[in-house]
């Protein structure tokens, strides 16, 4: 008997203190099977190194098992075979988003993953119903199946997932009604862009309106079902009442109206062309007279214009006169007007000092020409000469006073302004590093210093803070001209947003067509830009940071396809990491963060304004992403933007 007891004791001790390598060995085998089964861009795993050091693989503290698997945007394709994850029993995080995985997911694929809390399958090509094994994951907190081809009704079995906090099903082929979901912890929910119909369950009525757009659903927060039925019936009645004579009258009226509009546009174009040629000839003549060149704006400022006197350049363009340097400066000073300063600006110079400063043309932008002015006292400023100002003097002064009051560390402050009948000048601080546009696209030679991920993320965050501050001033306050050439950088690469508040001062002719690369599709008058349109422009700016492509370049070389549509087409057809700037691909440990910022940019550039986030939400998401990137030493991939405590 004592021998049996001894044997049992020995076995117990062995089971308690057995080596832990067996778990990680089986996990390693499963990971290699995943790499073999899912075709696409090779997973960057060195099989001679430990499993827990592989990119995207996060293990338990004792390295005994795999806890998280992050494989976003890896070009994985093909169908997932049954039982592929059977050995990863300790897995609590699985991300396969932004790949080209397709087909029906095996019904029992996720059954072994009882500890799974976060499952991200969005932006693939999965089809068929939601696999039954998902409903057995009792610990699941976040589930994202968006942007796939799932079909059939939304299963009521989602009620089994009582701890679910996020459920994203948008942009699929789900049909029928939404089941009566009873998920007390559900915070984030979206079923937009599906073939759903019927009324929205009362327990989901508190979700945002965006969560149900692109469907035939009704009820709170959308229009009530009764109103929908009544409006549809009224429309049918109206259509029935339209007689043939009425239709003919409408057609004739439309034709006459169209002809009048075309005649008016032809007259305006002829007049505009004549004015443009006259103005340009005067500009060139005046600039040549003082030896200063004005380059056309190409998204990148042109530095190094020839030196001259600021007063001479401005007077030559504004007056077109025949006096020389000093006389032209006196022509402006002699009108009795003076500079108007803002805040506690050191008034160590006056208009006369400014006009006598040596000048260098920085570029010809949307609202006018910018000069770098070096005063004799050693102060360097930027003077912007506005063109095509359409508002009267009183309104101009009121609007520019509001601009001068804005004070934020991520805005280029307006220090002073000058107004006369012929000239409107704005005085800003000089930001030495130039613009983001010049940094991204200006120097492509061997001596170029590449922008790393942390720098780009920091620039995005600074710009977001500045624009969000503008929006916080009131619902009618917007920037109106967000683009990379208006994001200036300090020596420490901190972003400063410029040119805000000027869109409402000038006529529509001042906004060239090339700004269309940043302009939201709903904007027809550049003087009337909403905050949601600003969000769209900021999204394009994020895409520019991530891809290294200028929106204007895309318009010229991609047969009219703008940058947002190009990115979305790449993601939709077959996700590939080549969408990112080559300079960013060297930072493999932050690929997950890059994908998150790309998703934010795509959200910002949604075609419909209601589907875009607010600038405050954008700032919060960029801030969270930066916190994740900057806290991480580079060894692991951390999903702080998605993994939160329930």
> Taking the CB of residue 537, how many other CB atoms lie within 10 A of it?
26
Q: Please report the DSSP string for 389-450 in residue order.
A: B-S-HHHHHHHHHHHHH---TTB--EEEEEE-SS-EEEEEE--TT-BHHHHHHT--STT---
Q: Which two tokens stand for residue 99?
A: 């790949």
Nearest to 361 by CA among 311, 411, 400, 308: 308
Paired with 381 in beta bridges are 373, 429
CA torsion 431-435-440-443 (nearest 10°) is -70
Place of tokens 């204007």: 552
Nearest to 78 by CA among 126, 18, 7: 126
Q: Which two tokens stand for residue 558?
A: 């991609």
Calpha distance 544→601 (Å, rounded): 10
Q: How many residues does the chain have?
A: 646
Residue 537, SS3 per DSSP = helix
**Any binding-site annotation on 298?**
no
Residue 183, SS3 per DSSP = coil
401-404: Cβ within 8 A, 24+ apart: 402/501, 403/500, 403/501, 403/502, 404/342, 404/343
Pairing of strands 340-341, 358-364: unpaired
- Residues annotated in a binding site for ATP: 384
- Residues annotated in a binding site: 384
């Amino acid at each position: 008997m004592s021998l049996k007891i001894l044997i049992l004791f020995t076995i117990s001790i062995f089971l308690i203190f057995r080596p832990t390598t067996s778990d990680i060995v089986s996990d390693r085998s499963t990971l290699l099977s995943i790499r073999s089964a899912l075709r696409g861009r090779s997973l960057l795993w060195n099989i001679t190194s430990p499993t827990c050091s592989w990119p995207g693989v996060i293990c338990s503290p004792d390295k005994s098992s795999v806890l998280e698997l992050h494989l976003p945007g890896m070009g994985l394709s093909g169908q997932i075979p049954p039982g592929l994850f059977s050995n990863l029993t300790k897995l609590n995080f699985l991300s396969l988003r932004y790949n080209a995985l397709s087909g029906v997911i095996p019904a029992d694929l996720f059954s072994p993953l009882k500890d799974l809390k976060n499952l991200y399958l969005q932006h693939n090509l999965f089809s068929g119903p939601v696999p039954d094994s998902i409903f057995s994951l009792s610990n699941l907190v976040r589930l994202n199946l968006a942007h796939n081809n799932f079909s059939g009704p939304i299963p009521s079995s989602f009620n089994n997932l009582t701890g679910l906090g996020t459920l994203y099903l948008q942009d699929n082929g789900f049909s029928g009604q939404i089941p009566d979901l009873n998920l007390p912890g559900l915070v984030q929910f979206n079923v937009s862009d599906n073939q759903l119909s019927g009324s929205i369950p009362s327990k989901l009525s508190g979700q945002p309106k965006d969560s149900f757009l692109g469907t035939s659903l009704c009820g709170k927060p959308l229009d009530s079902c009764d109103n929908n039925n009544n409006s549809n019936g009224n429309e049918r009645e109206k259509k029935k009442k339209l007689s043939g004579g009425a239709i003919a009258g409408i057609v004739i009226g439309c034709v006459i109206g169209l002809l009048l509009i075309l005649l008016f546009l032809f007259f305006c174009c002829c007049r505009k062309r004549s004015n443009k040629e006259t103005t340009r000839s005067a500009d060139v003549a005046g600039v040549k007279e003082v030896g200063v060149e004005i380059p056309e704006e190409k998204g990148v400022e042109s530095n190094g214009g020839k030196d001259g006197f600021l007063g001479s350049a401005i007077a030559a363009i504004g007056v077109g006169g025949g006096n020389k340097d000093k006389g032209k400066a006196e022509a402006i000073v002699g009108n009795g007007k003076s500079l108007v300063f803002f805040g506690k600006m050191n008034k160590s110079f006056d208009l006369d000092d400014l006009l006598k400063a040596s000048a260098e043309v920085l570029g010809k932008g949307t609202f006018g020409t910018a000069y770098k002015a070096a005063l004799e006292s050693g102060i360097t400023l930027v003077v912007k000469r506005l063109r095509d100002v359409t508002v009267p003097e009183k309104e101009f002064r009121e609007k520019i006073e509001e601009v001068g009051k804005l004070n934020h560390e991520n805005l280029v402050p307006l220090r002073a302004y000058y107004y006369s009948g012929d000239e409107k000048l704005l005085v800003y601080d000089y930001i030495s590093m130039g613009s983001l546009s010049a940094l991204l696209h200006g120097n492509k030679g061997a001596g170029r210093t590449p922008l790393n991920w942390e720098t780009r993320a920091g620039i995005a965050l600074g710009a977001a803070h500045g624009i969000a501050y503008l929006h916080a001033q009131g619902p009618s306050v917007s920037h109106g001209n967000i683009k990379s050439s208006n994001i200036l950088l300090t020596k420490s690469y901190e972003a400063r947003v410029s040119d805000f508040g000027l869109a409402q001062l000038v006529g529509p002719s001042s906004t060239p067509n090339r700004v269309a690369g940043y302009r939201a599709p709903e904007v027809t008058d550049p003087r009337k830009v909403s905050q949601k349109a600003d969000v769209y422009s900021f999204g394009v700016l994020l895409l520019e940071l991530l891809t290294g492509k200028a929106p204007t370049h895309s318009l010229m070389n991609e047969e009219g396809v703008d940058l947002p549509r190009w990115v979305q087409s790449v993601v939709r057809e077959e996700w590939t990491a080549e969408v990112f700037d080559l300079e960013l691909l060297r930072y493999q440990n932050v690929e997950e963060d890059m994908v998150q910022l790309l998703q934010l940019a795509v959200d910002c550039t949604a075609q419909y304004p209601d589907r875009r986030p607010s600038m405050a939400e954008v700032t919060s998401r960029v801030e969270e992403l930066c916190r994740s990137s900057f806290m991480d030493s580079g060894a692991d991939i951390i999903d702080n933007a998605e993994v939160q405590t329930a």
